[in-house]
Amino acid sequence: MLPLMGYQTNTYHCHLSHNHGYVACWENQKKTITMEVYYVGSHKDAPY
């Protein structure tokens, strides 16, 4: 899990395949148990 550069520190991504071909991006809402996944797909189209 890595924070996205240039974004809020509560925004993260992780690689879903060993060749980094697919990623998931999410935001963890502070002081809640809410987590919003806003992208799952190919690495080349990821919003970071």
Q: How far is 21 from 11, CA to CA, in rounded Å?
A: 20
The pLDDT of residue 22 is 87
Q: What is the pLDDT of residues 24-42, one digit of tens each?
A: 888 887 787 777 888 888 8
**For residues 46 and 23, is the Cβ–Cβ distance under 8 A?**
yes
**For residues 27 and 8, is the Cβ–Cβ distance under 8 A?**
yes
The pLDDT of residue 9 is 63
Q: What is the pLDDT of residues 4-26, one digit of tens each?
A: 555 556 788 888 888 888 888 88
The pLDDT of residue 31 is 80
Which amino acid is present at 9?
T
How would you classify the pairing of strands 2-3 and 11-15?
antiparallel
Please tell me whether the overall predicted TM-score, pTM, comes out greater than 0.75 for this model: no
Question: What residue spans define the domains of the chain?
Answer: 2-42
The pLDDT of residue 3 is 55
